């Protein structure tokens, strides 16, 4: 994966993420961090997909990137992490996989539909798992004395 492709992915997926945030009336101050998280998560996903060829593994690590970034952004901005996490995983959602699954089912190609559906389910599960793991990791990390304010 080249630097130009990574930069292109970051910009395009960031714009798409910001558009999603605008569509759902996200607070203006959350748009830029959310767009950056969406872009960063997708860059990690795309780079790992090129290296490994595994969409579920790529989605897991891309989701972890977005989830951990969401927890950090939430603490910096003093707002709920779910806003940033939702925006961060938007580029990872396997919409094309769902489309392919339905297309194969309509064509009565059930073997292809099962394969596409399983991969789509694995990617969706990986995204959910990564957000949960990021939340647990970040909350335990921020409880350490290093991150607590002195009273």
Given a cut of 90, is residue 52 above it in pLDDT? yes
Report the chain's mean pLDDT, rounded to a whole number: 92
Q: What is the pLDDT of residues 64-111, one digit of tens each?
A: 999 999 999 999 999 999 999 999 999 999 999 999 999 999 999 999
3 has pLDDT over 70: yes
Note the pLDDT of residue 124: 96
Instruction: Tell me the pLDDT band of 1, cut-offs 50, 70 and 90.
Output: confident
pLDDT for residue 148: 67
Distance of alpha carbon 111 from the chain centroid: 28
pLDDT at residue number 117: 95
Model confidence at 150: pLDDT above 70: no
CA distance 127 to 24: 20
Gap between the Cα atoms of 59 and 85, Å rounded: 14
User: What is the pTM assigned to this prediction?
Assistant: 0.88
Rounded mean pLDDT, 45-59: 95
C-alpha distance across the termini of the chain, in Å:
47
Where do the domains of the chain lie? 3-147
3-state secondary structure of 24: coil
What is the per-residue pLDDT for 74?
93
pLDDT reading at 7 higher than 90: yes
Hey, is 74 helix, strand or coil? Answer: helix
């Amino acid at each position: 994966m080249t630097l130009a492709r990574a930069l292109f992915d970051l910009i395009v997926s960031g714009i798409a993420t910001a558009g999603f945030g605008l569509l759902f009336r996200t607070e203006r101050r959350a748009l830029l961090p959310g767009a950056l998280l969406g872009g960063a998560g997708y860059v990690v996903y795309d780079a790992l997909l090129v290296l490994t060829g595994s969409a579920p593994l790529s989605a897991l690590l891309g989701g972890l990137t977005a989830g951990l970034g969401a927890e950090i952004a939430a603490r910096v901005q003093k707002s709920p992490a779910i806003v940033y996490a939702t925006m961060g995983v938007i580029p990872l959602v396997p919409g094309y996989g769902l489309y392919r699954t339905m297309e194969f089912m309509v064509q009565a190609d059930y073997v292809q539909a099962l394969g596409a559906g399983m991969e789509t389910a694995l990617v969706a599960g990986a995204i959910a798992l990564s957000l949960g793991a990021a939340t647990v990791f970040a909350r335990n990390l921020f409880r350490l004395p290093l991150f607590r304010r002195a009273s």
